[in-house]
Amino acid sequence: MDDGRRREEEGEAWRRWSVLVAAVWVQALTGTNFDFSAYSSALKSSLSISQEALNYLATASDLGKAFGWSSGLALLHMPLHGVLLVAAAMGFAAYALQYCCLAFLNTSSAGAPMAIPYPLVFLVCLIAGCSICWFNTVCFVLCIRSFSTSNRPLALSLSISFNGLSAAFYTLFANALSPLSPSIYLLLNAILPLAVSILALPVIILCHTNDSHLHSIPNHDRRVFLGLYILAFITGIYLVAFGSFTTTSSTAWVILTGAMVLLALPLIIPACSHGPDPAQPLSHDDPHKPFLVSNNNQTESDAMMEKAMEHQLQGSCCGTILDKGRLVVLGEEHSAKKLIGCVDFWLYYTAYFCGATVGLVYSNNLGQIAQSLRQQSRLTMLLAVYSSFSFFGRLLSALPEFLHRKVSLARTGWLAAALLPMPMAFFLMWKQQDGSTLVVGTALVGLSSGFIFAAAVSVTSELFGPNSIGVNHNILITNIPLGSFLYGQIAALVYDANGQRMTVVDNCTGITDTMIMCMGVKCYSTTFFVWGCITFLGLASSIVLFIRTKQAYASTASRSSRKHLHQVYS
């Protein structure tokens, strides 16, 4: 009987780790919005539009994320693999149409330019952005259904991290297939997500529809996660070392093959997961319990103490904006109405809006930035740098999980520390715009924004409740389309104001056209300064959030420690 149960548990372990590997693969090849700058200049030329109109297309892709709630609605009526296939179909249709616009439909049979309806391109960009949200939802649900409460942050962080490598992987594919054709990125955006969805489909079909089966073997699971994170780090180093340089087609194929091997290596983890220590006890988690749990007497005692402390703070000279209305306990469920009225939410929203979202807009404008500084030949390298360091930032977001016993810093403190490089990078690029500074600035922006993107899910869960994360996180990311429009508009207005009309020739079609182009440091100097000031505001907001929430994190850690001692001696 024990042997049969052990085999069943080993089968569950295999399924659990296989699902995580599938989520990693899906995330690695569905971050299609991160390579926008690789083909944005060609799209701008093909459609004969201004920088401002191009910014609207980037905003449309981000605006699609505002419809991310539709994926949650679809899950109420469709199986998980059905949602995955719909996401793949939406992405395929949207990017295939854009590819046709860029590669074929921009000329008629007589060679005269054809007018492609701009609203149609806007619409397909919006659908493409929505498909990315659907992919993300599938991966989040896979991790939540397959891992216990204690391991979920690590699983989520790992899968989200690989999303940051999408641009680097797509650059490798483009260099191997057609390095001189920007339209190849749109073709890859259409095909690769569909291909990886079909590849991951069998594993996802086997994923449980509920989480009542969840259990963990703490020491063994931590070792497995550590191995996965080491493999992920090696993958990032490989892409930085080999994916940032222009190579011949044959060399590009070799580098691409190496990257695919590294992406497949996590499959050894499910194979190794058959061997946990039989004597090690299983830890069963109640998947529906709140983020924080304790016995009733302890909860009542802690709540009374926290309320007394809150009352004392509000009645003293310290009862300022840093204390008034602050969160007293972590994991308390917040409805949408309660969330909107929470001061800490708006501090968090501002930190994200004035931090990671600026980094995303920077990546969207990277093509024009490189072109204006005559660094167009280094664009693929800059994309690989941004993608790789965004990946490292996402990996670093797991540090609180590994170091929580050695470094007692609230997760909001980690968030504030992650925002520090962002204003430094923009002020650096404002003062000195050359090739080396652009590389360093791009790396810092990618590192900072990557950390925030990955940490946001856990922060939202801790501050405003794990059971409400689906609604609350979608409310949080409404800042992305808003920031994409606002910050992109700032960049576009400065660019167009300093540009002049030039006659350009399309290398693929030979068609001449006139468009506004800007060359030199004046094109983005003011933009970098404004973005630096905005990200400094985000840093200040995150520091205030940390100060307001650190007491809640401290009391939570104290309760968790007392609960652990109670379980040991009971």
- How much is the pLDDT for 140? 84
Nearest to 81 by CA among 145, 159, 138: 138
The dihedrals phi and psi of 513, each to the nearest 5 degrees, come to -155, 160
- How much is the pLDDT for 208? 60
Nearest to 539 by CA among 359, 394, 408, 406: 359
**Element spanning 513, H or E:** strand 512-517
- How much is the pLDDT for 320? 54
Half-sphere exposure (CA, 13 Å, Cβ side) for 412?
29
- How much is the pLDDT for 339? 85
How far apart CA 264 and CA 314 sit, in angstroms, is 55
Distant-in-sequence, close-in-space partners of 328: CB < 8 Å, separation ≥ 6: 306, 307, 310, 551, 552, 555
**DSSP class per residue in 427-466:** HHHHH--SHHHHHHHHHHHHHHHHHHHHHHHHHHHHHH-S
Question: What separation in angstroms does the CA of 360 have from each of 61, 451, 528, 560?
Answer: 12, 12, 14, 36
How far apart CA 33 and CA 477 sit, in angstroms, is 15
Half-sphere exposure (CA, 13 Å, Cβ side) for 479?
23
SS3 179: coil
- How much is the pLDDT for 567? 47
Q: What is the largest CA-CA distance in the chain?
A: 85
How far apart CA 139 and CA 20 sit, in angstroms, is 8
Do 399 and 410 form a contact (C-beta atoms < 8 A)? no
How far apart CA 346 and CA 324 sit, in angstroms, is 14
**For each successive 10 residues of the chain (570 residues), what is the average pLDDT?**
59 79 93 86 82 85 77 83 93 91 59 66 90 88 81 84 87 86 91 95 76 54 85 88 71 90 83 52 44 40 45 47 68 82 91 93 89 83 86 86 72 91 94 86 93 87 78 83 90 87 57 72 91 96 91 70 47
Neighbours of 230 (CB within 10 A): 10
Domains and CATH numbers, the chain: 1-106+114-207+219-275 (1.20.1250.20), 333-569 (1.20.1250.20)
Tokens of 112: 């005269």
Do 124 and 98 form a contact (C-beta atoms < 8 A)? yes
How far apart CA 429 and CA 425 sit, in angstroms, is 6
Question: What separation in angstroms does the CA of 127 have from each of 63, 240, 470, 482?
Answer: 9, 31, 20, 17
Nearest to 466 by CA among 340, 210, 292: 292
Beta bridge partners of 513: 504
The dihedrals phi and psi of 178, each to the nearest 5 degrees, come to -160, 80
Q: HEC string of 284-314?
A: CCCCCCCCCCCCHHHHHHHHHHHHHHHHHHH
- How much is the pLDDT for 109? 43
pTM: 0.76
Give the dihedral sign, CA 262/263/267/273: positive
Half-sphere exposure (CA, 13 Å, Cβ side) for 332?
15
CA-derived radius of gyration, the chain: 24
Do 492 and 52 form a contact (C-beta atoms < 8 A)? yes
